[in-house]
Amino acid sequence: MTLALTDVSKEYGQKLALDGVNLTVSPREFLCVVGASGSGKSTLLSLVAGLMMPTTGEITVDGHPITGPGPDRGLVFQNGSLYPWRTVERNVAFGLELLALDTAERDRRVDWYLAETGLAGVRRSLPRRLSGGQQQRVAIARALVCEPDVLLLDEPFGALDVQTKEDMQLLIRQIWLDTGTTVLMVTHDVEEAVFLGTRVVVLASDPGRVAAEVRVPLAEDRDLAVKRTPAFLALRASVEDMVRCGVTR
C-alpha cells in the first residue's frame, strides 16, 4: 500500500489551511506529522480519511483516488468516539458488520484484536466502565479489526495522563510490529513523534506546508529507555527547532 498526496491544498472560505503538500507514505511505514497550531495537521488527516476533499491536488492509495471514507483506512480520534450503548466487543465488531464476512471470521478477528489490545477481560463491559486508556484501546481495535491498509491516528493519546500515554505508545508500536499496518499519525508532541515514528514530517504554519522530513534512525524494537539516550534527545531537539522555525517563517 502506497499513500500519496500530490500538490494538495485545502481552503476554508478565504483561509488557506494547506498549501501544495506533496507526501508519500510507504508500505509498513510509521509516519508521524508534527507542527504548531495552524499547520493543518488534522486537516491533512481528514483529507486522507476522505472526510473532506482537497480544494486542489489529489490523494491516492495505490494509484486510486480517495473520494470518501473507506475500509482501506481506519481512523482513531483523540476522544475515541465509542458507541456508549455497545459493549467493548460490539464496539470493536461494528465495522465488520458492514463487510461480507461469515460469523466465524468476524469472531476470530474480534477475539484476536481484543487480545492484541489487552481488552479480552473487559469485552462485555460498556465504555462508561472503562478508563481513558482502555477506551482508546477499544477505538484502536475497532479501527484495526477491518484490517485496513493504513491506520490514521489523530492525536489519539493527547488527553491521557503521562503514564497511560506512554503505555499506549508502547501498545501502538507493538501492534504496528505485529500487524505490519502502515500508520499515519498527527501529533503536537515531538517526543511522541520521534519515539513512535520511522519518519517525522514537520509542517510549517499559515498556511500548512511541508517544512522538513526527518528519518528516525532508532532500533525498531525500541522501548521507553531510548527516550533518555543522547541520540534520542538530540533528534527531539532538532525536530523541535524545525517546528519553531516553521512557525516563524
Using CB atoms within 10 A of its CB, is residue 163 exposed (0-12), middle (13-18) or buried (19+)?
exposed
User: What tens digit of pLDDT does each residue of 35-54 get?
Assistant: 998 899 999 999 999 999 99
Residue 169 lies in a domain: yes
For residues 21 and 8, the answer to whether their CB atoms sit within 8 Å is: yes
How would you write the pLDDT of the chain (249 residues) with one tens digit per residue? 799 999 999 999 989 999 999 999 999 999 999 999 889 999 999 999 999 999 999 999 999 999 999 989 999 988 768 999 999 999 999 989 888 788 999 999 999 999 999 999 999 999 999 999 999 999 999 999 999 999 999 999 988 999 999 999 999 999 999 999 999 999 999 999 999 999 999 999 989 999 999 999 999 989 999 999 999 999 999 999 999 986 544
- pLDDT given at position 81: 84
Is residue 213 a contact partner of residue 21, using CB atoms and an 8 Å limit? Answer: no
The pLDDT value recorded for residue 247 is 55
For residues 151 and 149, give the distance between their C-alpha atoms in angstroms, rounded to a whole number.
7
Looking at the fold, whether 104 and 195 belong to one and the same domain comes out as: no
Chain-centre distance for alpha carbon 247: 23
Q: DSSP labels for 95-162? A: GGGGS---HHHHHHHHHHHHHHTT-GGGTT--GGGS-HHHHHHHHHHHHHTT--SEEEEESTTTTS-H
Q: At what angle do helices 162-179 and 103-116 cross, to 10 degrees?
A: 130
When divided into structural domains, the chain yields a total of 2
**pTM, entire model:** 0.94
pLDDT at position 37? 85
Give the residue from 115, 147, 179 where a domain finishes.
147
Does 77 reside within a domain? no
Cis peptide before 27, with omega less than 30 degrees from 0?
Answer: no
Same domain (yes/no): 50, 138: no
91 close to 140: Cβ distance less than 8 angstroms: no
95 and 114 part of one domain: yes
pLDDT of residue 249: 44
Q: What is the CATH number of the domain that holds 22?
A: 3.40.50.300
In this prediction, residue 143 carries a pLDDT of 94
Residues 241, 161, single domain; the answer is yes
Q: Looking at residue 248, what is its pLDDT?
A: 47
**Shortest CA distance to 76 belongs to which of 115, 116, 48, 112?**
48
Strand ranges of the sheet holding 64-65, from the earlier edge strand across to the other edge? 15-25, 3-12, 56-61, 64-65
